[in-house]
Structure 1
Amino acid sequence: MKVEEGFRQTPPVEGHPFLDDPILPALLHRLCPSEYFGKIQSDLVNLGMQVIPQLREVAESATPPHLVQYNQWGQRIDKLVISESWRQLKAISQKEGIIGIFYERESGDFSRVHGFMKILMMAGDAQVVFCPLSMTDGCARVLELHGTPALRENVFWRLISRDPDSAFTAGQWMTERPGGSDISQTETTATNIDSDNYLLDGFKWFSSATDSDVSLALARTGDPSRGSRSLSLFLIPLDPSLYPNTTNPRTQSARNGILINRLKDKFGTHILPTAELSLQGTYAKLVGGLNQGVKTISSVLNITRVHSGVGSVGYVRKALSLATSYASVRRIGPERTLLRDIPLHLNELAKLTVTYKALTHFAFEVVGLLGKVECKTADKSVRHRLRVLTPVMKAFCAEKGVQATIECMTALGGEGYMEENGIGRLVRDGIVEKIWEGTTTVLSLDMVRAFQTRGTAEAFSQWVRNIVSCARVTLQGQLKGVDEILTSALDTIVKSLSSPSPSSPRPALFLLGHIASSTAMLEHTTWSLSHRNTIEHEVDLDTLIRWVKHSGLAAAQKELSTVTAFDHKCNERLVYRHGVEVKGKL
């Protein structure tokens, strides 16, 4: 039989990424004031109809970068070759106002909601282009807060530009060989030339967005024994027009004394150029105070973590869209029944939809807080919540997002395992969100520090209790115990994290993530009673109850309450064989 003969599966057709999404239209309606709603909604509709189809076509032809280190005469040239499609992906995003929307602030403190909804809709098709754009966002924020007038005049406006011909992207070079995420062991040193001009020497082990126009980097400006307290933040220009001629011949090179030693061979994010770099007399400008690098760069880390969390949810959106559209065309059995009409299969899709909606609510709770802080409309309570929820949201959405994306793959059966549909790429690219900008373990320790900062526990607790109290009045007997479950979990997390040295920060992070996502969903469900029709409100209420009662909150609370801190020596004997005497013959 020829391939053209016999049965051929009808291809699934994805719906509109905004209009047909199970949560985004209502979420925008709830979060956005009426004066901004119409413009933002129109922009998102156009994005789904015009831009994303173009984005998908460009992304399909994107190819991994490669490095040409030497020319035929043995001269080292370190030429980074990237595909034209990668450039186009950045250009499309820049034209859509990413990163511009965030800093034009035409929608006030809801500009972050506007821009991140676009990112959520685009992420699954964009070949991780939002990695360099997230660092561009962070760099723009640092220059907005700490940049000199010259940096703001020459660099800042290009970071937020909608014109691809003049727009810059930024990298973030923090990771080094001795420390990984532990920047206190940074080896790169900075030597002052004059004023805020420095020359950097060191080795950056992991530099995403190697093709960027500028980059932020930490370097040591004081005694190494002081660890991270002797680090300063620098802006490194890769565009020759941004650095002056110096007497250092290495700095006069085309790449500002930067050698690309090799490109990373990664599990995923194959289109993204990531490299190991040597800095040899690299010209850089000091940003912020001397030896204040960690404090100065904190705003970058918070922003890139929000991008990471929203990106994880964006991968789930794309995979779920494929899974649900496939269930509407795939028929099985002698009755040729659609998958969507089979209760067992539909039940699995419903579980995934609940997870997607919960993660989306959580992500945009944090996005909304970020917008308020940046526009200076936030009180202390909002700032405390943003600080503690940012690492939690990033870790929680990454962990839950990868699981959900894999389940979406299995919902397509063998078709889901094929590279052509892109879910495999989403899984590979999504896993990195569990690693960069802090692993779950690292972020759980950051969460503990934030929660124990004076006023944070009170701010978080008051937020949860206020939402629960309002829901009890508005929803009355509809909650089916959700309110009691939430308040009980809140008591558990506050008790656990109030300990001077919490013994189980990782389980605590997941419980806090469940509480925060459930609270955001409860707020939405309360709102929907008076703003939506009866059926939609019933769906929101059912989603909330399923998430709180059947999606892991109780298990997370139990784990935190019963976790046992095993002796380190016992763990070592369990994990490592060396040092254990084995008697007798093997």
Structure 2
Amino acid sequence: MRIEEGFQPIPFSEDNAYLSDPVLPGLLKRKLPRSALQEIVPDLERLGSEVVSSIRELSNSAKVFPPTLLQYDQWGRRIDSLQTSEGWRELKAIAQKEGLPGIFYERRYKEHSRTYGFAKMILMVGDSNEIFCPMSMTDGSARVIELLGSPEMKEEILPRLISRDPALAFTSGQWMTERPGGSDVSLTETSAFPTGNTNKYGEKYSLNGVKWFSSATDSEISVALARTGSQREGSRGLSLFLVPLRLPLVRSPSDPTPLPTSNNVFIHRLKNKIGTHILPTAELTLEGAEGYLIGNLGQGVKNITPVLNITRLWSATASIGNLRKCLAIATSYAKVRAIQSGNLLLKDVPIHVEQLASVNLLYRALTHLTFGVVDLLGKVESGVATPDEQRRLRMLTPVAKAYAADKACAGMEEAMSAMGGAGYMEENGFGRSIRDALVEKIWEGTIVVLALDLARAAQDPASMNAFISWINSVLKSCPARLEPRIASAVKILKEAVEALRPVYTSTMNPLVPRPALMLVGAISSSVYLLEQAIWSHTTSENTEDVDVDVFNRWVFEGAMEANIQLVKRVQYATEERVKFNTALVFGSKTTPKL
């Protein structure tokens, strides 16, 4: 039999990425003013069509391939020529033209500009080959310069970081990670010394050291931590600098591109990573690189915080954006794949639809959580956030990032398995999405690092009170007619809040931060889903029954009760548990009897 003969599988085709999304249309309808919604929705519909057509075609084309590095020319001269793929550059240009990150700083829709921009990102990220990594750092660097930059930085560099014109636009990296410390920047070795010279951006510093992960090596600038105090001062001796990768920094498009080593920034090697293959991540050495101070000396960690907060929300959105793509593929496949001698489509098989519904439920919970925090960021940046909303943003930023990263990959694998052997094929895009999304568990802080960051915020009684007050206000807003339909779920939600109250004390158990973060994630995502259900009920939306069911089901099936029990168990764990943990991992000191 020839391959053209016999049974022929029907290829699936995806619908418009925005119109077919189970979350975004309703979420945006609730959050955005009607006037803004009327302008934003047509743009998202256009983008949703392009995502599954031209953007996906480019992302899967031969134009996209890993970067290469040529360190020396044939004469033995150090040139550090980094070559990125045409597809990488075109995808970055698409993002810039779409207004990422420009939308956030144009602020046409005020505090809702963040929601608009992140809605675009969630649609694009699964087909963008991780170009949002440099875009996120560009966004963070723009915010730092907007807040702390010199007048000349704001005049010349900020407009390029937020430009929609790829010919003029800059991208930025952020250099924190070094060999001694990883996430612990207190061990930073890179030093910065004033040269005694100045230019329009301020006093020139000379930076020397090694930056172990640079994920935007083809960018024009980076913000970098460097030591201006003694090693004994730890993180208090660090300052923040703007470092051009090449000099001169600002030039016209017709000017020749400066040599890659013109600012004494050298590429040691490109990283060989599990995923994000076309993203040029490198080890760099700074050998007298010119940089300019941002903010005050000795406040580098504080001054770079806006970068971390912003990139963590980009990271959360990357996790759920890749999940969105995998779910959309599996859902489309169920509409065309027939079983039982071709008489029954998968979409009509209850046990199969149950599997897809579990992934759909996860996607809804993570999306509402992340966009709830994005909404808070927009309010803070626009100056309309209350003090309690500022505290909630501080608490929930690490939660959204860690919770989405932890949960999304499992959901992607579940969507892949729903297609059987067809799902394991590289052509579908599952492989790249899963590989790329794995980095979100590490990038900008592992789950443990973020759990400790949450602990620092939540140990402030004012922050915890703001969080619980928000939960209570949502519960109190529930209409009387809706209460009986959600009573059982609300009871468990209240139990979760009571279990959380005694956790974040000054003497909290050292084992509890990670399970506590997961409990905060479960609580927060449930409350945001409840907000959606209350809105649907109040406005008589045709999605009311589904939204109510989603809230109930997430509380019962989203591991809320398991999170409660784990926190209670670990909270009162003794030193014996620590001892047995060591024995489990590293083995017992005693030898088993033969």
TM-score past 0.5 threshold: yes
Q: Which residue does 1:118 correspond to in 2?
A: 120
| Partner of residue 269 from structure 1, selected from 272, 276, 290 | 276
Provide, for residues 168-221 of structure 1, a one-character-per-residue CA deviation record: whole Å limited to 9, x for no partner.
Answer: 000111110000110000000001013531010000111111111100110000
1:437 aligns with 2:444: yes
Following superposition, the deviation at residue 472 of structure 1 comes to 5.2
Contact 1:70 1:78 in 2 (8 A): yes
Q: Please give the alpha-carbon distance, in whole angstroms, between the structure 2 residues aligned to 1:115 and 1:584.
A: 63
What's the counterpart of residue 99 of structure 2? 97
Whether the aligned pair in 1 keeps the contact of 2:130 and 2:276 (CA below 8 Å) is yes
Q: 2: CA distance between counterparts of 1:485 and 1:330? A: 39
User: Is 1:216–2:218 an aligned residue pair?
Assistant: no
CA contact (8 A) 1:472 1:479 kept: no
Task: Compute the displacement of 1:35 (Å).
Answer: 2.1
Work out the CA distance in 2 between the residues paired with 1:75 and 1:392: 48
Alpha-carbon distance in 1 for matches of 2:116, 2:20: 18
Give the match for residue 31 of structure 2. Answer: 31
Cα distance between partner residues in 2 of 1:255 and 1:136: 22
Alpha-carbon distance in 2 for matches of 1:398, 1:102 = 24
- Partner SS, residue 424 of structure 1: helix
SS at 2:248's partner residue? helix
Distance of aligned partners of 1:63 and 1:519 in 2 relative to their CA distance in 1, 3 Å threshold: same
Q: Which one of 559, 564, 577 corresponds to residue 557 of structure 1? A: 564
Match of 1:375 in 2: 382
Distance 2:385 2:34 in 1: 20
From 315, 329, 342, give the equivalent of 1:308: 315
- Among candidates 283, 288, 291, match of residue 295 of structure 2: 288
| Residues in 2 aligned to 1:241 and 1:335: alpha-carbon distance in whole angstroms | 65
After superposition, the Cα gap between the structure-2 partners of 1:461 and 1:2, relative to the gap in structure 1 and judged at 3 Å, is same
Q: Is the 8 A contact 1:472 1:483 kept in 2?
A: no
Q: Does 1:519 align with 2:527?
A: yes
Query: Is the CA contact 2:339–2:345 (under 8 Å) kept in the aligned structure 1?
Result: yes
Q: CA deviation at 1:253?
A: 6.8
Amino acid at match of 1:20: S
Partner of residue 110 from structure 2, selected from 108, 111, 130: 108
2:480 corresponds in structure 1 to 473
- The answer to whether the aligner puts 1:136 opposite 2:138 as a matched pair is yes
Contact 1:332–1:338, Cα closer than 8 Å, also in 2: yes
> Aligned to 1:389, what secondary structure does the other structure show?
helix
Give the conservation status (yes or no) of the 8 Å contact 1:309–1:393: yes
Structure 1 residue aligned with 2:430? 423
Q: Given the superposition, is the C-alpha separation of residues 327 and 565 from structure 1 closer, same or farther in structure 2, using an over 3 Å criterion? A: farther
Letter in 1 for 2:230: D
Give CA-to-partner distance per residue, 1:552-583, whole Å, 9 cap, x none.
Answer: 11111111112235544433233224x82537
Query: C-alpha separation between the residues in 2 aligned to 1:458 and 1:530?
Result: 27
Q: What is the CA-CA distance between 1:369 and the residue it aligns to?
A: 0.2
Other structure's SS at 1:128 match:
coil
State the partner residue of 1:153: 155
Task: Find the residue that maps to 1:377 and give its secondary structure.
Answer: coil
Confirm or deny: 8 A CA contact 1:243 1:283 kept in the other structure: no
Residue in structure 2 matched with residue 60 of structure 1 by the alignment: 60
Q: Which amino acid aligns with 2:494?
A: T
Measured in 1, the distance between the counterparts of 2:118 and 2:370 equals 9
Query: Structure 2 CA distance, aligned partners of 1:576 and 1:546?
Result: 39
1:571 aligned residue: 581
- Greater shift after overlay, 325-334 or 102-111? 325-334
Instruction: Classify the secondary structure of the residue corresponding to 1:180.
Output: coil
TM-score, scaled to structure 1: 0.96
- Which digits, 9 at most, give the CA deviation of each residue in 1:25-63, with x for residues without a partner? 110000001121111111111111235522112111210
Q: Secondary structure at the match of 1:471?
A: coil
Aligned residue number for residue 248 of structure 1? none
66-75 or 281-290: bigger deviation: 66-75
1:262-310 Cα deviation digits (max 9, x unpaired)? 1000011101000001100000111111010000001110000000001
Q: Is the 8 A contact 2:17 2:51 kept in 1?
A: no
* Equivalent residue letter for 2:586: Y
Q: Which amino acid aligns with 1:346?
A: V
Question: Which region of structure 1 is more displaced relative to structure 2, 11-20 or 432-441?
Answer: 11-20
Whether 1:543 aligns to 2:550 is yes
**% identical equivalent positions:** 49
Which residue of the partner structure matches residue 457 of structure 2? 450
TM-score between both structures, scaled by the size of structure 2: 0.94
Q: Deviations over 1:464-488 (max 9, x none)?
A: 0111111153513111412211111
1:17 shift after superposition = 1.1
1:278 to 285, 293, 307: 285
Match of 2:254 in 1: none
Amino acid corresponding to residue 341 of structure 2 in structure 1: P
* Correspondent of 1:528 among 536, 551, 561: 536
Cα distance, 1:255 vs. partner? 3.7
Contact 1:113 1:367 in 2 (8 A): yes
Q: Secondary structure at 1:522's aligned position in 2?
A: helix
Task: Give 1:252 deviation, angstroms.
Answer: 8.7
What amino acid is aligned across from residue 32 of structure 2 in structure 1? C
For 1:276, the aligned partner's letter is E
- Cα offset for 1:495? 1.4
Aligned-partner Cα distance in 2 for 1:65–1:565: 50
Equivalent of 1:297 in 275, 290, 304:
304
Other structure's SS at 2:289 match: strand
Aligned length: 577
Q: Distance in 1 between matches of 2:118 and 2:397?
A: 15
Secondary structure of 1:193's match? strand
| Alpha carbons of structure 1 residues 35 and 199: separation in structure 2 relative to 1, 3 Å | same
The answer to whether the 8 A contact 1:127-1:269 is kept is yes
2:390 maps to amino acid:
R
1:347-386 equivalences in 2 (<5 Å): 347-386=354-393
**Cα distance in 2 between the residues matched to 1:165 and 1:533:** 45
Question: CA 1:57 to 1:565, structure 2 compared with 1: closer, same or farther past 3 Å?
Answer: farther
Q: Which amino acid aligns with 2:558?
A: S
Answer whether contact 2:220 2:249 (CA < 8 A) is retained. no
- Paired amino acid for 1:101: I
- Contact kept, 8 Å, 1:269 with 1:428, in 2: the verdict is yes
Structure 1: any 5+ residue segments left out of the alignment? 245-250
2:79–2:259 CA contact under 8 A, matched in 1: no
Q: How many angstroms apart in 1 are the aligned matches of 2:503 and 2:478?
A: 26
Q: Residue 478 of structure 2 aligns to a residue in which SS? A: helix
In 2, Cα distance between the equivalents of 1:310 and 1:327? Answer: 25
Deviations along 1:309-331, one digit per CA (max 9) or x if unpaired, are 01111011000000000011111
| Matched residue, 1:229 | 236
- Secondary structure of residue in 2 paired with 1:187: coil
Letter of the 2:159 counterpart = W
- The reply to whether residue 509 of structure 1 matches residue 517 of structure 2 is yes
Any idea what SS the aligned residue of 2:268 has? strand
Alpha-carbon distance, 1:343 to partner: 0.8
Which residue number corresponds to residue 40 of structure 2?
40
How far did residue 6 of structure 1 move? 1.8
Letter in 2 for 1:9: P
State the partner residue of 1:247.
none
